[in-house]
Amino acid sequence: MRKFAYLIILAGVLVMLYPKASEWYNDRQQEKLLQEAEAAYSSMAPSSSSSPELAKPYAEVTELLAEEAEEEESAVPAEGGDKSEVKLGGKVIGIISIESIDVKLPILEGATKANMKHAAAHMKETAPLGGVGNAAIAAHRSRTAGRLFNRLGEMKIGDKVSVKTAETQFDYEVYDISIVEPTDVSVLNGNGEDRILTLITCDPLIDPTHRLIIHAKLSNK
């Protein structure tokens, strides 16, 4: 009887520890991606997509953002598992840094569920990083303070956003902050002249119904 009681207690402890273990694993994967990005980057081809062509991929991204981080696939692999898993989500194409909210994340190519588990993701259908047009980067707004885009709501007009690639560093300045419907694909519009960076996450933090959009413009052409 006593053994059974101990097993019940142990099971309860494991259930309580699982979310923290999953979070630790995702943070470890994020750190690996950052190290990989520091070592090498990959360039990407320009895109000339317009809003109608972006409607479907944008809808898929906003649907992913609506998912709670705890409900994502986050099982911790057994010891001795696949050591290359961190590379399977996507290709590291850069690092995004936002000093005002203490953010530094690897950027993976393609806004997929796998990529957004550990990093910020560039919508490959949008403009290339630093290119003319509108380059969109999405990340989850984790409930854990400081993780991923959790603090994006603290940003202000005039804040700086840095995107570093293998070739150079692009410095953007925030000029517009808005909260929009998940279907508002106009946030990905460009004007054919400026080099715009759009950051996308969910809003509010709990039970999100809208999307928080940060627009920044390149300041070092």
Residue scoring higher pLDDT (122 or 80): 122
Element (H, E) at 164: strand 160-164
Beta bridge partners, 195, equal 133
d(CA 208, CA 141): 10
What would the two tokens of residue 191 be?
């004007």
Helical residues (DSSP H) of the chain, grouped into ranges: 2-39, 51-66
What would the two tokens of residue 73 be?
């696939």
Question: Of the ranges 68-82, 104-118, 144-158, 170-184, which is most confident?
Answer: 170-184
Convert the pLDDT of each residue in 58-112 to its tens digit. 988 888 888 754 454 443 444 444 443 444 567 899 999 999 999 999 999 999 9
Residue scoring higher pLDDT (151 or 13): 151
Mean pLDDT, range 168-181, rounded to an integer = 97
Q: Say if residues 54 and 125 touch (Cβ distance below 8 Å).
A: yes
Residue 81, classified by CB atoms within 10 Å of its CB into exposed (0-12), middle (13-18) or buried (19+), is exposed
DSSP state of 159: -
Q: In the chain, what are the domains? A: 2-69+86-218 (2.40.260.10)
Of the pLDDT bands very low, low, confident and very high (cuts 50, 70, 90), residue 157 is very high
Please tell me the predicted confidence (pLDDT) of residue 52.
Answer: 67
- Share the mean pLDDT of the chain: 80
d(CA 119, CA 72): 14
DSSP state of 128: P
Please tell me the predicted confidence (pLDDT) of residue 65.
Answer: 82
